[in-house]
Amino acid sequence: MADFVDPSWHWFIVIATIVSLLACLWLVLANRRSDSDSVEGEPTGHVWDEDLRELNNPLPRWWFNLFLITLIFGGVYLVLYPGLGSFPGVLHWTQLEQYQDEVAEANATYNPLFEKFMSTDIPALVKNKEAQVAGERLFANYCTQCHGSDARGAPGFPNLRDDAWLYGGSPEAITQTLTNGRRGVMPAWAGALGEEGVENVTSYVESLAGRDVDADMAAKGKEKFNMLCIACHLPDGTGNQALGAPNLTDDDWLYGGTRRTISESIANGRNGVMPAHGEFLGEAKIHVLAAYVYGLSKNN
């Protein structure tokens, strides 16, 4: 347990816990016998619901013993494990240490299953059924929360079954994405463009994708696009995978392709984060997972 900012909290918890245990022990012991001033089994005078009468009987032996065992267990637990303020317990057990031990045990058991695929390049692993099954399980554990169980993504999370790759779809690029993660930033342009300017640029972006738009608005939007957007999306709007800037000339939209959504992206900007998985998955698992992700787009 982490140390408290104020040491007095440690003693507050220790005293409150011990006093509570002793109070519970006293309460159990005080009720182990019937009231000495009354005859055992006679009514005490307490009545509920008109005819429910309390009798002067002690706690049943099994019930008393169960309470006693529970209190003893609680006391022993607080001696062995953390619970009394900052006291670490005699065993010095911590959640972190247990987690690290379990991870080490799991790695020793399962890492050899993944390491045997390291000598095979990713395109070849796509054809290896055993590797694909292993990759599918890794994907289910670590990737479905964002990309979905079918890997088709959601608004803000890329579809991994098509050929539209923000940072490139080569085995090397996918491996780098999984290992180090990605952070994409689309600046907000509402302040620089104004409401009319946002609408004009939206029309031009739609025209890049082959849609019918107002020609005058698109022409005005192109001027602003050439001033503010070509540094990332390039003059022809095909994007730049080195920066993660999407291709605007296709019909694949990360956040949605409606006019309203495109306007929101231009006006308010977007921030996308792909977490890095290399540190906790390791090179071998990343290699197998990259092969699975690479195969998703090749098999569809």
Predicted confidence (pLDDT) per residue in 40-91, tens digit: 667 777 888 888 888 877 778 898 899 999 999 999 999 999 988 888 999 9
Structure confidence at residue 167 (pLDDT): 96
Say if 97-181+276-298 and 184-274 have the same CATH topology: yes
Domains of the chain, by residue range, sit at 8-93, 97-181+276-298, 184-274
Structure confidence at residue 40 (pLDDT): 65
Confidence tier at 2 by pLDDT (50, 70, 90): low
The CA distance from 197 to 200, in Å, is 5
pLDDT, tens digit (0-9, with 9 covering 90-100), for 242-252: 999 999 999 99
pLDDT for 1 beyond 50? no
Which residue has tokens 């706690």?
A: 59
Looking at residue 187, what DSSP letter applies?
Answer: -
Structure confidence at residue 297 (pLDDT): 86
For the chain, percent of residues with pLDDT exceeding 70: 95
Structure confidence at residue 80 (pLDDT): 95
Q: Higher confidence at residue 261 or residue 30?
A: 261
pLDDT for 198 beyond 60? yes
Q: Higher confidence at residue 285 or residue 86?
A: 285
Determine which of 42-46, 162-166, 235-239, 268-272 has the lowest per-residue pLDDT on average.
42-46
Which CATH code for domain 184-274?
Answer: 1.10.760.10
Looking at residue 116, what DSSP letter applies?
Answer: T
HSE-CB at 224 with a 13 A cutoff on CA atoms is 24
Which residue has tokens 């009514």?
A: 43
Class in CATH terms, 97-181+276-298: mainly alpha
pLDDT for 101 beyond 60? yes
Confidence tier at 298 by pLDDT (50, 70, 90): confident
pLDDT for 300 beyond 70? no
Q: Is 278 exposed, middle or buried (0-12, 13-18, 19+ CB in 10 A)?
A: middle
Determine which of 110-114, 125-129, 212-216, 258-262 has the lowest per-residue pLDDT on average.
110-114
Closest to 28 in 3D by CA, of 1, 65, 2, 80: 65
Residues with Cβ within 8 Å of residue 57, at least 6 apart in sequence = 34, 40, 41
Average pLDDT, the chain: 91
Residues with Cβ within 8 Å of residue 164, at least 6 apart in sequence = 158, 246, 247, 250, 252
Closest to 138 in 3D by CA, of 280, 300, 286, 273: 286
Structure confidence at residue 154 (pLDDT): 94
Q: Please, what is the Cα angle at 52 between 46 and 58, to 5 degrees?
A: 60
Confirm whether pTM is higher than 0.85: no
HSE-CB at 48 with a 13 A cutoff on CA atoms is 2
